[in-house]
Amino acid sequence: MPVMDEFREEREAIKHGTPRQKYQYFKDYYRMPLIILLLACTFAGILIYQFVTRKDSAFYAVLLNCSPYEENGWFTEEYTQRAGIDLEKTDVTLDTNIYFKLNSNDEDSYITIQKLDTYAGARQLDMMLGAGDEFAHFANSILFKDLREVLSPEQIQKYEPYFYYVDAALWETSGSVQNASGLDPSNVHDPRDPQGMERPVPVAIYVESSGKLNRAYYFKNAEDGIAVGIYANAPHPDKALLLLDYLFEE
Residue 105 confidence (pLDDT): 78
- Give the model's confidence band at 12: pLDDT under 50 very low, under 70 low, under 90 confident, else very high: low
Q: What's the rounded mean pLDDT across residues 4-12?
A: 58
Rounded-to-integer distance, Cα 188 and Cα 167, Å: 8
Looking at the predicted structure, is the pLDDT value of residue 157 above 80? yes
Judge contact between 219 and 65, C-beta under 8 A.
yes
Rounded-to-integer distance, Cα 14 and Cα 23, Å: 10
Q: Which residue has the higher pLDDT, 121 or 35?
A: 121
Residue 177 confidence (pLDDT): 38
Q: What's the rounded mean pLDDT across residues 197-223?
A: 94
Looking at the predicted structure, is the pLDDT value of residue 158 above 80? yes
| Residue 7, Cβ density class (10 Å: 0-12 exposed, 13-18 middle, ≥19 buried) | exposed
* Helix (H), strand (E) at residue 226: strand 226-230
Per-residue pLDDT tens over the stretch 85-122: 998 889 999 999 999 988 877 888 888 888 898 999 89
Of the listed ranges 33-37, 85-89, 214-218, the least confidently predicted one is: 33-37
Looking at the predicted structure, is the pLDDT value of residue 6 above 50? yes
